[in-house]
Amino acid sequence: MSKPPLFSFLPFERFRNPPPLVSVVRLNGLIGGMGAFRQGLSLSSLAGTLNRAFQMRGVTAVALVINSPGGSPVQSALIAKRIRALAEEEGVPVVAFAEDVAASGGYWLATAADEIYADVNSVIGSIGVIAGSFGFPELLKRIGVERRVRTAGEFKAALDPFREEKPAEVAHLEAFLEDVHESFRDQVRKRRGGKLSGDEETLFSGRWWSGRKALELGLIDGLGDLRSVMRDRYGKEVRLRVVGGQGLWWRRWFGRTRRFSGEPAAALMTTQALAAIEERLTWARFGL
């Protein structure tokens, strides 16, 4: 009777033919913004993570897990462009998964994927541009303070919150917002193409929808979560490997403190408090 080969009990077949590997990149939080204990998403903070995700040995696909209410249109565009560039250079498909919200700049990021999935209750859309501020034209008079501003350039002090709005300045801002909005519309048209089923007046109005309605409008390709969709597509043995991460909160906090080391402590705390309020209000727009 012949003896079995030495080490025949080892799963050599798994080493010869490993299960499909999907690298997972989490895109969480404001884009370009800065909250009290975390820095917003930006190309500079994500470049290394994206490179590792697409260049991982044996990678089958890259999954973007998005939970973002938006933010900077510049950083949204830069991140999306880098994702597309890496996908084409490495020949790796990209699938996006919206969690609670992929709205405004968050949806811009999702359009960098070849396919977009969401939960039935995810917030999707908000394809528009916003600029918000407050006006205090009477405040200084009431407290007896005179504001003195000198500029070189007609619009250098445009939309100063401590003086009345001027029609020419408002018109200039609105033209700027429309220009950025057109860039957003171009991105959606380019990436979603013939998949869109709603009319542009509705789709690009700044409205947002549930995942179920977004599917009807062609803003996403299906309903599902990362694990379920990837297992259906690549089998139950598929490996999901998270790449990168935002690190420990205390490292981000002290790193930010060093950047503001020239500010007085009170000013630093005020900056952080205002950033936290802004972040909270941005999420609150979508009921989150």
Distance, CA of 235 to CA of 242 (rounded, Å):
18
| Domain 19-127+192-284 CATH (choose: 1.10.1660.10, 3.40.50.300, 3.90.226.10, 3.40.50.620) | 3.90.226.10
Distance, CA of 52 to CA of 2 (rounded, Å):
48
| SS3 letters across 188-213 | HHHHHHHHCCCCHHHHCCCCEEEHHH
Domain locations in the chain as residue ranges = 19-127+192-284
Distance, CA of 108 to CA of 124 (rounded, Å):
10
Strands (E), the chain: 21-28, 59-68, 94-103, 115-118, 123-125, 208-210, 222-223, 239-242
Residue range 112-152, pLDDT digits in tens? 999 999 999 999 999 998 887 778 778 777 888 877 788 88
Burial 219-230 (b: 16+ CB within 10 A, else e): bbbebbebeebb
Residue range 29-53, pLDDT digits in tens? 999 865 444 568 999 999 999 999 9
Q: Give the confidence band of 223 by pLDDT, cuts at 50, 70, 90.
A: very high
pLDDT at 158: 83
Tokens 């060093």 locate to 258
Which candidate in 23, 42, 68, 104 is catalytic?
Answer: 104
156 a catalytic residue: yes
Provide the percentage of residues in the chain whose pLDDT is more than 90.
58
Distance, CA of 254 to CA of 83 (rounded, Å):
29
pLDDT at 277: 57
Look at 184 and 163; give whichever has higher pLDDT.
Answer: 184
Residue range 50-105, pLDDT digits in tens? 999 999 999 999 999 999 999 999 999 999 999 999 999 999 999 999 999 999 99
Instruction: Please give the distance of CA 203 from its chain centroid, rounded to a whole number.
Output: 19
104 a catalytic residue: yes
Which of 95, 78, 86 shows the shortest CA–CA distance to 31?
Answer: 78
Tokens 């694990």 locate to 227
Which candidate in 156, 166, 190, 195 is catalytic?
Answer: 156
* Averaged pLDDT for residues 6-16: 52
